[in-house]
Amino acid sequence: MTTRRKFLTTAALGGAGTLAAPAIVKAQTPIKWRFQTYAGAALGEHVTKPAIDYINNAANGEMEIELFYADQIVPTGELFRALQTGTIDAVHSDDDSMAAPTEVTVFGGYFPLATKHSLDVPVLFNQYGLADIWRDAYKKVGVTWLSAAGQDPCNFNTKKKITSLADLDGLRLYTFPTAGRFLAQFGVVPMSIPYEDAEVAVQTGELDGMAWSGITEDYTVGWANVTDYFLTNNISGAWIGSFYVNEQKWADLPEHLKSVVMAGIEASHTYRNQWYWGGEAKLRATGDKLELTSIPAEEWKQVEDAAKVFWDEIAETNETSAKLVKIFREYNSVIEKAGPPYTFG
């Protein structure tokens, strides 16, 4: 029989050999992604970089995402194609700006008069089914949709003072495709130029201003330095933007890193909400670069009524659009009945 002493001696000798061997940990090559945002560097610092920083830090060396800003790899209008082909691995943008070939594209960016506040967007996606609709729409075109969130409203910052709808006539504005299509009926001339060229275009007279953001962005990116007025009426209360990833890149990513990516994105949603919400209020109240103007509510109602007609036109284009318009109508009915603070006034 093995005696206790013999067992301990054998174990000690064998154990010594085992314990003496150095622990070898092979450093694996990190997974690397190239990521492009719709935003320029000044804006991207707040709307996209927090998510990338979070992911890179939390991935513990297993994953590295290199962030590129607006138009640095491809023009914004080519983001979808670049994502689909793998030229870019992941993207932060709205569907409208990146010309995604889906039935939800016109609802991305600023769908006219569809939202009142930034929190409307996560509510619509998480409680009213938009997340499933977006996910399915992108699956059909070979891209993985990850998450959407709201940001700032779409106001006007211009060189010309706007106090009536007539003042919109002839204005050359940098804006989103669907927003421009809607505003054209009021005489606005939508202009499509690279994001980083917009400020200079105002200075040279090519543009009269922008219908692209709220006042937080106007100050952050320098547009408040080249325009004089900010119209408090907006054509949408919140931008709808999303994070997307190349389908194969997402499939190849280990599950624990997928969780890291999603945690970083969701954390960045929270940051943007407070950054915009606080900025919109503070800069309206204390900003000294843009004079606030407004179009009377009774006159602005023409824009609101036109939006309802526009919604009907969009609903007729396909079954998905009809479903989405129905959801937007249902949600807006709910918040109208709820009253302040869900609606204005």
- Tens digits of per-residue pLDDT, 30-73? 999 999 999 999 999 999 999 999 999 999 999 999 999 999 99
Strand partners, 213: 155
* Confidence label for 28 from pLDDT (cuts 50, 70 and 90): confident
pLDDT tops 80 at residue 26: no
Mean pLDDT for the stretch of residues 194-201: 96
pLDDT tops 50 at residue 104: yes
The gap from C-alpha 323 to its chain's centroid, in whole angstroms, comes to: 22
Fold of 155-236+289-338: D-Maltodextrin-Binding Protein; domain 2 (3.40.190)
* Confidence label for 235 from pLDDT (cuts 50, 70 and 90): very high
pLDDT tops 50 at residue 15: no
Tokens, residue 218: 């106007």
pLDDT tops 60 at residue 267: yes
Please provide residue 118's backbone torsions phi and psi, each rounded to the nearest 5 degrees.
-60, -35
pLDDT at position 344: 74
pTM of the model: 0.90
Mean pLDDT for the stretch of residues 179-187: 98
* Confidence label for 345 from pLDDT (cuts 50, 70 and 90): low
The H or E element that residue 107 is part of is none
Mean pLDDT for the stretch of residues 229-249: 98
Mean pLDDT for the stretch of residues 236-259: 98
Contacts of 275-278 with CB under 8 Å at 24 or more apart are: 275/46, 275/216, 276/118, 276/151, 276/152, 276/214, 276/216, 277/118
pLDDT in tens, 137-159: 999 999 999 999 999 999 999 99
pLDDT at position 6: 47
As a whole number of angstroms, the distance between CA 128 and CA 331 comes to 8
pLDDT in tens, 75-85: 999 999 999 99
Mean pLDDT for the stretch of residues 269-280: 97
- The answer to whether residues 145 and 212 touch, using CB atoms and an 8 Å cutoff, is no
List C-alpha distances in Å: 199 to 22, 170, 194, 204, 217: 60, 19, 10, 9, 12
pLDDT tops 90 at residue 274: yes
State whether residue 231 is helix, strand or coil: strand
Q: Where are the domains of the chain?
A: 31-152+237-286, 155-236+289-338
As a whole number of angstroms, the distance between CA 216 and CA 222 comes to 10
Give the rounded percent of residues in the chain with a pLDDT score beyond 70.
92
pLDDT tops 50 at residue 25: no
* Confidence label for 178 from pLDDT (cuts 50, 70 and 90): very high
Cβ burial of 196 (10 Å; 0-12, 13-18, 19+) is: middle
As a whole number of angstroms, the distance between CA 312 and CA 315 comes to 5
Please provide residue 255's backbone torsions phi and psi, each rounded to the nearest 5 degrees.
-60, -40
Q: At what angle do helices 319-338 and 120-127 cross, to 10 degrees?
A: 120
Domains 31-152+237-286 and 155-236+289-338 share a fold: yes
pLDDT tops 90 at residue 110: yes
Mean pLDDT for the stretch of residues 268-294: 97
pLDDT tops 70 at residue 13: no
Least confident of 12-16, 63-67, 302-306: 12-16
What's the CATH class of domain 31-152+237-286?
alpha beta
As a whole number of angstroms, the distance between CA 148 and CA 300 comes to 29
Strand partners, 191: 174
Task: Fill in the amino acid letter for 196.
Answer: E
* Confidence label for 255 from pLDDT (cuts 50, 70 and 90): very high
| Contacts of residue 269, Cβ cutoff 8 Å, sequence gap at least 6 | 122, 147, 149
Sheet holding 63-68, edge to edge: 63-68, 31-37, 90-93, 240-246, 143-150
Cβ burial of 145 (10 Å; 0-12, 13-18, 19+) is: buried
The counts of H helices and E strands in the chain are 13, 11
* Confidence label for 20 from pLDDT (cuts 50, 70 and 90): very low
Give me the sign of the Cα torsion angle 156, 52, 126, 95.
positive
- The answer to whether residues 218 and 227 touch, using CB atoms and an 8 Å cutoff, is yes
As a whole number of angstroms, the distance between CA 72 and CA 317 comes to 34
* Confidence label for 343 from pLDDT (cuts 50, 70 and 90): confident
Q: What is the mean pLDDT of the chain?
A: 93
pLDDT tops 60 at residue 319: yes
